Amino acid sequence: MSGQFFSIWPVDQNQNKVNQRIPLLGQHQIENVTVVMSIVEQLCQQGWDIPQSALNTGLTRVEWPARCEIFQSTPPILIDSSHNQASASQLNKVLEDLFPHQRRVLIFGAMMIRILKVCLMNSFQIVVTQF
């Protein structure tokens, strides 16, 4: 649960398949990485000197604290800073992938209670707190 591996098959038949590991969780993070890789490719075509090794190092070392971050493995505790419906939806997908058929408890903190209505996800026992 400390990241994921994926492979990308370039459209250009002269390029090899890329196998990559990222320390972030979620299919949405793989999609984000493919965007980054495409941007770097375009920059290189425009004359920028970005070594493949630099891209690989950056992708394997990327950190996003409190975004689908495994805080503890036994029992599993995941911290996430979802702040809108889109990020909450991605969190829900990650939880379904990592912990299918398991009871989940959501401890939710927000500065404004209206955010709860936006970010509320299915299949959770809800604990609400404020700060």
* Ordered mean pLDDT values, 10 residues apiece, the chain (131 residues): 82 78 93 93 94 93 91 88 83 89 78 58 62 60
CB 9 within 8 A of CB 17: yes
Q: In the chain, what are the domain boundaries?
A: 4-61, 69-130
Please give the C-alpha separations between residue 36 and each of 10, 41, 43, 58, in angstroms, as whole numbers: 14, 9, 11, 11
Token couple for 129: 């707190």
| pLDDT at position 119 | 58
CB 128 within 8 A of CB 108: yes
Token couple for 6: 């994926």
| pLDDT at position 59 | 94
| pLDDT at position 89 | 86
| pLDDT at position 22 | 94
| pLDDT at position 116 | 57
pTM of the model: 0.75
| pLDDT at position 117 | 58
